[in-house]
Amino acid sequence: MTESSYTVAGMTCGHCATFVTEEIERIAGVTAVTVDVDSGRVSVTSDEGLDTEDVRAAVEEAGYELTHANRSARDDRTPAATERDHRGDPHAGPGERLP
């Protein structure tokens, strides 16, 4: 799962949030959208990373402007799976066992 956050300008009410949410939910792979009208922050959870231009197009279709994108991957894998991925990696984090 990947979680990304965006700043959207022009939203003033719950209806605005609904329009933005509906358009972003149409993007393939999106699993959840949360909108905070007061801050303009939109958080999107998706199966994989999203193309910012797809999000921008969805926001513009809703009638608003995407002003900032901050993508932040969240790793939902188990610690054991993460550990396997870092075997032999000289940059493995603390507590990760290396062979």
Q: Which domains does the chain have, with CATH numbers?
A: 2-73 (3.30.70.100)
Res. 87 pLDDT band, cuts 50 70 90: very low
User: What mean pLDDT is predicted for residues 5-14?
Assistant: 97
Measured CA to CA, the distance from residue 42 to residue 81 in angstroms comes to: 30
- List, edge to edge, every strand of the sheet that includes 30-36: 30-36, 41-46, 2-9, 65-73
Give residue-wise pLDDT tens across range 24-51: 999 999 999 999 999 999 999 999 999 9
Res. 95 pLDDT band, cuts 50 70 90: very low
Measured CA to CA, the distance from residue 71 to residue 89 in angstroms comes to: 24
Contact 30, 46 (CB under 8 A): yes
Q: List all residues 6 or more positions away from 27 whose beta carbon is below 8 Å from its beta carbon.
A: 46, 50, 54, 55, 58
